[in-house]
Amino acid sequence: MFAVSKYDIRQLRVFATVVEHGGVSSAASKLGVSLSTVSRDLSALEERIGVHLCRRGRGGFALTPQGEHIYQATVDLLSRLHGFEQEVQAARESVSGVFNLGVIDNVISNPAAGIVDALSKMHRDYPEMLVNVSVHESPTVDILVREHRLDIGTTGTPAWLPQIQYVPAFAEEHRPFVSRKSPYYDRIVDGLGGKPVGDIPYIARGFRADTFRGFEESFPLQIAGRGATLESILAAVLAGVGFALLPTHFVETVRRSDLVEIPLDAPPVRVQFYLAYHGELASHPAIKAFMDRFHGTIAGDDPFAIAQA
């Protein structure tokens, strides 16, 4: 009975290379070794298995009938061995342990976000993995990712930290909304419509939001209040304090008849969101698995979804 050793595997690889490149010289060039090394390995293999594998010399290279049979068996063995090596590597890189995902408020309600679908696919493929999902204010996400307290975070106000990779993920449309019951309703509607009404009461973000700057500089706005989350901003709007820019998908979930959109001639404000992860962990199995499933989820699903790296 012939038992294969690690030396046999190496010599079989050399033999297969010789056959596939039509001779010893080409195989030596491919393998980066000398002609004598390849010839020695072939001779050692022939002696080991007791079969004359090929004719080589001035007359050219040719397999013997036994050599043809051994070559086919070698191809099959090396293919199976490669498959085994891939399975071992996959087992080493299997996604397990804890995955920490940070999101900002109400991003889950955005159908273009793809977060929920990506998590669903992660759980289906890796049911043993523990997934922690937490909600954060947008400006804090970058820091939490940098400090390795989050594996991936979503943000619409990236700080562009050098350690962090920012991948465009999806976008939201923000439009101006006001309460029909607000005492400033007419002033707000007229003012945003271009009429000279003086200062227009406006509910701003409680953090720096450069995305809204162009809109805010286009009108004579007076900061009547601030909010750190969409719900806090909405509360101020419903209380009649002023108007605010709100994502349309969020407003659709509120279902309040007194909350109305203010028509504008200008296009809605488009807010780009990013998935942020630490650059040192780009090849981490859990991060890679989530990103692969996220991009597979949103690709082509929505005109505002961007799946580019």
pLDDT at 212: 87
Pick the CATH number of 6-92 from 1.10.510.10, 3.40.440.10, 2.60.40.10, 1.10.10.10: 1.10.10.10
pLDDT bucket at 91, cuts 50 / 70 / 90: low
For the cut 50, the answer to whether the pLDDT of residue 303 exceeds it is no
DSSP β-ladder status, 259-261 and 98-104? unpaired
Say if residues 306 and 272 touch (Cβ distance below 8 Å).
yes
What tokens appear for 240 in the block? 């009649």
Give the separation between CA 173 and CA 250, rounded to whole angstroms.
Answer: 10
- The first and second tokens of residue 302, run together, are 């929505």
CATH superfamily for 171-269 is: Periplasmic binding protein-like II (3.40.190.10)
So where are the chain's domains?
6-92, 98-169+271-298, 171-269
Structure confidence by residue, pLDDT tens digits, 146-180: 888 899 999 888 889 888 999 998 888 899 999 99
The pLDDT tens digits for 212-231 are 888 899 899 999 999 888 89
End-to-end alpha-carbon separation of the chain, Å?
54
C-beta neighbour count of 15 within 10 angstroms: 25
| 65-92 and 6-20 helices, crossing angle to 10° | 120
Question: Which value, to the nearest 10 degrees, does the dihedral of the CA atoms of residues 217, 221, 227, 233 take?
Answer: -110
Comparison of pLDDT for 264 and 138, the residue scoring more: 264
pTM over 0.85? The answer is no
Contact 243, 262 (CB under 8 A): yes
User: How crowded is residue 140: how many other Cβ atoms within 10 Å of its Cβ?
Assistant: 18
Q: Tell me the C-alpha distance between 293 and 110, whole Å.
A: 17
Q: Is the pLDDT of residue 199 over 50?
A: yes
DSSP sequence for the chain: -----HHHHHHHHHHHHHHHTTSHHHHHHHHTS-HHHHHHHHHHHHHHHT---EE-STT--EE-HHHHHHHHHHHHHHHHHHHHHHHHHHHHT---SEEEEEEETTGGG-TTT-HHHHHHHHHHH-TTSEEEEEEE-HHHHHHHHHTTS-SEEEESS----TTEEEEEEEEEEEEEEEETT-TTHHHHHHHHTT---S-EEEEEESS--GGGHHHHTTTTEEEEEEESSHHHHHHHHHTTS-BEEEEHHHHHHH--TTEEEPP-SSPPEEEEEEEEEEGGGTT-HHHHHHHHHHHHHHTTT-TT-----
- Give the right CATH number for 98-169+271-298 from 3.40.50.2030, 3.40.190.10, 3.30.70.20, 3.40.30.10: 3.40.190.10
pLDDT > 90 in the chain, percent: 34
Provide the residue type at 233 as one letter. I
Q: Which of 221, 218, 175 is nearest to 201 (CA)?
A: 221
- Residue 305: pLDDT band by 50, 70, 90 thresholds? very low
Q: For residue 300, what pLDDT is reported?
A: 42
Distances (CA, A) of 261 to 217, 220, 264, 266: 20, 19, 9, 13
d(CA 244, CA 238): 10
- Whether 98-169+271-298 shares its CATH topology with 171-269 is answered yes
> What would the two tokens of residue 21 be?
């490149």
